[in-house]
Amino acid sequence: MFDQCLYFNASALARRVEREWADIYADFGLTPAQGYVLRVVLSEPGCLGSEIADRLGIARPTATRLIDNLSRKKLVERRQGTSDARERGVHPTRSGKALDAAIRDASAQISRRLKAKVGAEVFESTIAGMRKIRKALK
């Protein structure tokens, strides 16, 4: 009935993948969304909340809430910008930095597991197709 429906298939896939990532990030006391924000901050210390939102394709208020949650967990902190006093860059704390390798390893592990389940070619072509669709619908 919904075999050709992008919304249905994308949503059903997202729910299944969400469970996989939720299990992995739960080991760090994070949700998948928090984990991805932390990964952005770890890779780009000092980035702005708006940059995080753009990079992850989420709304700015959503990024702000996720940053607030990570800040309460003492994994990131906001610091006043050097070029503009109104800017507050997001930086990883020592505790946040300590999770970097483990989170990257866990992410690689889950990607390998999913590739093994569906096949590397299907996995990679699906991601490439989804990225094209996201870009076209932007």
Mean pLDDT score across all residues of the chain = 92
pLDDT classification of 87: cutoffs 50, 70, 90: confident
Taking phi first (over 0 means left), then psi (-120 to 50 degrees means alpha), and beta for anything else, what does residue 114 get?
Answer: alpha
Q: What is the pLDDT of residue 89?
A: 93
Residue 93 has pLDDT above 90, yes or no: yes
- Average confidence (pLDDT) over 73-87: 82
Q: Select from 1.10.150.20, 3.40.50.360, 3.40.50.2300, 1.10.10.10 the CATH code of 6-136.
A: 1.10.10.10
- Measured CA to CA, the distance from residue 52 to residue 89 in angstroms comes to 10
pLDDT classification of 84: cutoffs 50, 70, 90: low
Question: Hey, CA dihedral for 33, 39, 41, 47, is it positive or negative?
Answer: negative
